[in-house]
Amino acid sequence: MSKKTYREAITEALRQEMEREERVIIVGEDVAGGAGGSAGGGEAAGGVMGLTAGLCTQFGRERVIDTPITESAIIGMAAGAALTGLRPVAELMFADFIGVCLDQVYNQAAKFRYMFGGKARTPLVVRTMIGAGMGAGPQHSQAIYPMLTAIPGLKVVVPSTPYDAKGLLIQAIRDDDPVIFCEHKGLLGSQGEVPDEPYTIPFGKAAITREGTDITLVGISRMAVLCNEVADRLKKDGISVEVIDVRTTSPLDAATILESVKKTGRLVAVDEANPMCSVASEIASIVASDAFEYLDAPVKKVTAPHTPVPAAPNLEALYLPTPDKIEVVIRDLMDF
């Protein structure tokens, strides 16, 4: 156990799984970096955010494969490799780029097993960066996991802590189904205790990160961090908030959420995505269906507005859910 950043936790998970299993390979743009450059090759970057740094040196360019900028070919190649015996971890640099390769994810990888009558295994992991807050503008800041959560055959992982990032990524790599692993760029530098040895965290098991009795607050990815902050803040005012970090949006741990709401009678779901057809909407609909009798107040969600992500930092700050916005909704519900 030692303090590590989210970024380090991810790199460590990749390294340990590559050490454990030869068939784990990494493919993507600049995942090694420097191929063909005038400096004479060698490891140049390890990804734009350095998350695969050092892996090419350790495992060689046969297992850490730089590709052209062709996401359909990257994800498709990884899916085809997964279908035939490798365990590829493909990097989709920014999740916003899903638009140029969605077919290979949703019509191909996610459907193989079903379409082929249960005979396929597709141990594919797509690591990708989500989220706003870095001034990266409308095409590099989106939280696109809701549309992926909707896709049968896919699993969607949204870790909020270094500990979860490592354990869930190792699970993703060992998992025999296609997994989208969403790394929030606003969390890369965040720190936490992370065991040095490999471990897995099962999919579909939410984490209760704060116990409480007055209201249930469900957070996704970086929003879970905000939820904890709000819970700690409100505790001082005597409002007991239970915080649930979903960890994976597919499978979604409805049981833990429902159990909590049955206790608290109130729900707020916090999602960085746009509001319509969001995971927050999904959670709200499940609670309104299956815990209706226990509800003491309307079911609420806090999300980004129905707008693209603006480039201007002041607008981007307004765009994002914040502890203050969440607090207002909670206080309203407590007064209901």
Partner 1 sequence: MQLSRDQLLSAYRRMRTIREFEERLNVEFQAGTVPGFLHLYSGQEAIAVGICEQLEDARDYIGSTHRGHGHCIAKGVDVKGMMKEIYCKKHGVCGGKGGSMHIADLDKGMLGANAIVGGAPPLAIGAALTAKTLKPGGVAVPFIGDGAANQGTVAEAMNMASVLKLPVVFMFENNGYAEFTAASYATAGSIEARAKAYDIPAVTVDGADFFAVHEAAREAIARARAGEGPSAIEAKAYRFWGHFQGDPQRYRAPNETKDLREAKDCLKHFRSRVTEAALLEDADMDAIDEEVLALIEEAVAEAKADPEPDAQSLYEDVYVAYN
* Active site residues per annotation: 140
Distance CA 204, CA 249 (A): 8
Interface stretch with partner 1, choices 10-18, 33-41, 209-217, 281-289 (CB under 8 A):
33-41
Identified binder of partner 1 from the candidate list 1, 237, 293, 306, rule CB under 8 A? 306
Residues 232-291 that bind partner 1 (CB under 8 A): 251
CB of 185 vs its own copies, minimal distance in Å: 17
**CB neighbours (10 Å) of residue 94?**
18
Distance CA 15, CA 55 (A): 7
C-beta closer to partner 1: residue 9 or 126? 126
What's the 3-state SS for the chain? Answer: CEEEEHHHHHHHHHHHHHHHCCCEEEEECCCCCCCCCCCCCCCCCCCCCCCCCCHHHHHCCCCEEECCCCHHHHHHHHHHHHHCCCEEEEEEEEHHHHHHCHHHHHHHHCCHHHHCCCCCCCCCEEEEEECCCCCCCCCCCCCCHHHHHCCCCCEEECCCCHHHHHHHHHHHHHCCCCEEEEEEHHHCCCEEEECCCCCCCCCCCCEEEECCCCEEEEECCHHHHHHHHHHHHHHCCCCCEEEEECCEEECCCHHHHHHHHHHHCCEEEECCCCCCCCHHHHHHHHHHHHCHHHCCCCCEEECCCCCCCCCCHHHHHHHCCCHHHHHHHHHHHHCC
From its own copies, ligand TPP, partner 1, none, which one binds at residue 146 (CB under 5 to 8 Å depending on kind)? Answer: its own copies
CB of 69 vs ligand TPP, minimal distance in Å: 5
By rule CB under 6 A, what string of x and - marks binding of each residue 10-49 to ligand TPP?
-------------------x--------------------
Interface stretch with ligand TPP, choices 10-18, 92-100, 121-129, 230-238 (CB under 6 A):
92-100
CB of 193 vs partner 1, minimal distance in Å: 27
Residue 106 in contact with ligand TPP, rule: CB under 6 A: no
Distance CA 79, CA 75 (A): 6
Interface stretch with ligand TPP, choices 50-58, 60-68, 93-101, 123-131 (CB under 6 A):
93-101
> Which residue shows structure tokens 């815990």?
291
CB of 319 vs partner 1, minimal distance in Å: 6
C-beta closer to partner 1: residue 228 or 248? 248
Identified binder of ligand TPP from the candidate list 6, 59, 97, 203, rule CB under 6 A? 97
The site for its own copies (CB under 8 A) is made up of 72, 96-100, 102-107, 110-111, 114-115, 137-139, 146-147, 149-153, 250, 252, 273-274, 276-282, 284-285, 287-290, 292-293, 295, 297-301, 305-308, 310
Q: How many residues bind ligand TPP (CB under 6 A)?
A: 6
CB of 241 vs partner 1, minimal distance in Å: 28
Identified binder of ligand TPP from the candidate list 81, 93, 201, 302, rule CB under 6 A? 93
Residue 203 in contact with ligand TPP, rule: CB under 6 A: no
Cis peptide before 251 (omega within 30 of 0): yes
Contact by Cβ (8 Å): 97, 127: no
From partner 1, ligand TPP, its own copies, none, which one binds at residue 191 (CB under 5 to 8 Å depending on kind)? Answer: none
Interface stretch with partner 1, choices 170-178, 190-198, 225-233, 280-288 (CB under 8 A):
170-178
Contact by Cβ (8 Å): 1, 192: no
By rule CB under 6 A, what string of x and - marks binding of each residue 51-90 to ligand TPP?
------------------x-x-------------------
